[in-house]
Amino acid sequence: MYENAFNKIERDLRAEEGIANELDYVEQTSWVLFLRYLHDLEAERQDRAELDGEDYAPIITGQFRWDRWAAPKLGGEFDHNTARIGDDLITFVDRELFPYLAAFRRSATSPDTIQYKIGEVYTERPLSRGIDPAMMPL
């Protein structure tokens, strides 16, 4: 299942203009997988806090949460009507999401926090390279 998905992504990326080699899309794959991992980690922390009767404040909030911009759902199914695609997705990622994530570096309480590390990663990333819409999940 995953092998077929990655093969499709690879074929689509090789067909894109501006993709010179595998390194060009390894970066894109990495940040997409990281954001998905972070979303799942926060969901697990939220569940654990609820079971322990504690409050949990997610690191990433509002429109920047994975399930709001990358994989929105309606009735438990992927919502094709609200999913960001194409130029809308590229604009959101470059002008809103990456600056939001980069700001974590400045607002973190210390360099040892996950917020600082997230900000560090997205501060160093050149925003002008953008995102390839073929990298987004369905």
Q: Give CA–CA dist 69/91, Å, rounded.
A: 12
Instruction: Give pLDDT tens digits for 59-69.
Output: 999 999 999 99
- Whether 137 shows a pLDDT value over 60: the answer reads no
- Whether 38 shows a pLDDT value over 60: the answer reads yes
Instruction: Give pLDDT tens digits for 110-120.
Output: 999 989 988 88
Mean pLDDT across the chain, nearest whole number? 81
- Under the banding of pLDDT at 50, 70 and 90, the label for residue 101 is very high
Mean predicted confidence (pLDDT) in 133-138: 47
The share of the chain scoring above pLDDT 90, in percent, equals: 38
**H helix intervals, the chain:** 2-15, 22-51, 66-69, 86-92, 98-102, 104-107, 114-124
pLDDT at 58: 93
Q: CA dist 62 to 67, 132, 134, 136, Å?
A: 10, 23, 24, 19
Number of domains in the chain: 1
Q: Give CA–CA dist 125/138, Å, rounded.
A: 25
Mean predicted confidence (pLDDT) in 49-60: 95
Task: Report if pTM > 0.75.
Answer: no
Q: Give CA–CA dist 122/107, Å, rounded.
A: 14
Q: Which of 106, 130, 131 lies closest to 120, judged by CA? A: 106
- Whether 138 shows a pLDDT value over 70: the answer reads no
> What range defines the domain where residue 69 resides?
2-135
Q: Is 77 helix (H, G, I), strand (E, B) or coil?
A: strand
The share of the chain scoring above pLDDT 70, in percent, equals: 75
pLDDT at 2: 62
Q: Read off the CATH number of the domain in which 57 is found.
A: 1.20.1260.30
